């Protein structure tokens, strides 16, 4: 089994999928993970920011304090957890962050915007593989107040900037059943200071494209029409977002990090348990969720491929 498969965060723990708050507490509390794809993904991130900055970074003025806190927190975490690759020096309010993987450094005076050329979250995001979101925790709800989003799965940062948590998730089918989204928002609002929680979100995507924003749907969405029983194993990828929520202690806002992983079906079927679990999950997936997860147009080809592979391996369900 390849290293890529071994390191992939397979999302399914049951044979049937249902929306749930499957979050787990992280100890120690961390927002960032460095993988073997670091250099490649950072290069892609920066290319996207250069070409489409207004699409990939957005913020409201109210988010600035949280951005400063998030940047310092991320740099400190990297220096502590990946000390062979990153370091952070502090003298009073003066900071020097060194990224030894890239041979770069960032110098800044904390909370002094004249000491930096970009906004703090935009700087921090250029050194990590994760997309970064600031959710402002206000008395009347959680609001998306800033974000660097280079690898979205069919959504638009520009569209949701300033929106409340529940409104952002309105397109998700069945999300309002049993007051589910309100329960999730209450859970987030109760996250303690310096506490981090992790969950996995999943979808299916065509090719190994990380950047699939709503704005370019016309370019990548049509690829779904090209899936056949001959190329499904190569074209279709399981996309998993490892989402982490961390409470910033000074501003009390939420730092939401999203690390995206892709694995082709040809790679995934190396793991027999994953193969069986994905098959049962897709087989019993409702039509509305299949549409939302990006599967509807090639669901039959996908199921046939998985069934054929199960039979070839002599695996029973």
Q: Which of 96, 199, 247, 277 is catalytic?
A: 199
Contact by Cβ (8 Å): 97, 152 = no
199 is catalytic: yes
CA distances from 23 to 77, 113, 187, 220, 301 (A): 21, 35, 10, 30, 32
The CA distance from 108 to 86, in Å, is: 16
Which are the contacts of 295, defined by CB distance < 8 A and separation ≥ 6?
204, 282, 285, 302
Please state, in angstroms and rounded to a whole number, the distance separating the CA atoms of residues 29 and 248.
11
Distances (CA, A) of 102 to 41, 99, 126: 12, 6, 11
User: Do 145 and 59 meet the contact criterion of CB atoms below 8 Å apart?
Assistant: yes
What residues are annotated to the active site?
199
């Amino acid at each position: 089994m390849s290293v890529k498969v071994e390191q992939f965060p397979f999302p399914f723990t049951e044979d049937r999928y249902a929306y749930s708050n499957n979050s787990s507490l992280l100890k120690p509390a961390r927002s960032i993970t460095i993988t073997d794809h670091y250099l490649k993904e950072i290069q892609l991130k920066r290319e996207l920011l250069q070409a489409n900055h207004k699409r990939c970074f957005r913020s409201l003025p109210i988010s600035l304090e949280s951005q400063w806190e998030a940047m310092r927190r991320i740099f400190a975490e990297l220096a502590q957890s990946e000390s062979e690759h990153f370091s952070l020096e502090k003298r009073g309010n003066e900071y020097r962050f060194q990224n030894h993987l890239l041979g770069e450094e960032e110098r800044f005076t904390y909370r002094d915007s004249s000491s930096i050329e970009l906004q703090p979250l935009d700087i921090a995001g250029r050194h990590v593989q994760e997309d970064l979101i600031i959710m402002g925790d206000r008395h009347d709800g959680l609001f998306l107040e800033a974000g660097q989003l280079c690898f979205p799965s069919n959504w638009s940062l520009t569209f949701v900037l300033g929106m409340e948590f529940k409104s952002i998730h309105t397109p998700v089918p069945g999300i309002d059943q049993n007051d589910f989204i309100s329960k999730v928002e209450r859970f987030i609002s109760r996250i303690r200071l310096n506490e981090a929680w992790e969950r996995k979100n999943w979808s299916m995507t065509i090719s190994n494209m990380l950047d699939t924003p709503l704005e370019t749907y016309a370019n990548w969405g049509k690829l779904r029409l090209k899936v056949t029983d001959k190329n499904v194993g190569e074209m279709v990828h399981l996309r998993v977002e490892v989402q982490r929520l961390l409470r910033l202690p000074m501003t009390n806002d939420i730092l939401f990090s999203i690390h995206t992983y892709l694995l082709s079906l040809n790679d995934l079927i190396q793991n027999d348990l994953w193969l069986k679990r994905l098959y049962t999950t897709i087989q019993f997936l409702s039509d509305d969720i299949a549409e939302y997860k990006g599967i509807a147009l090639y669901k039959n080809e996908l199921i046939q491929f998985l069934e054929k592979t199960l039979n070839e391996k002599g695996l029973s369900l």
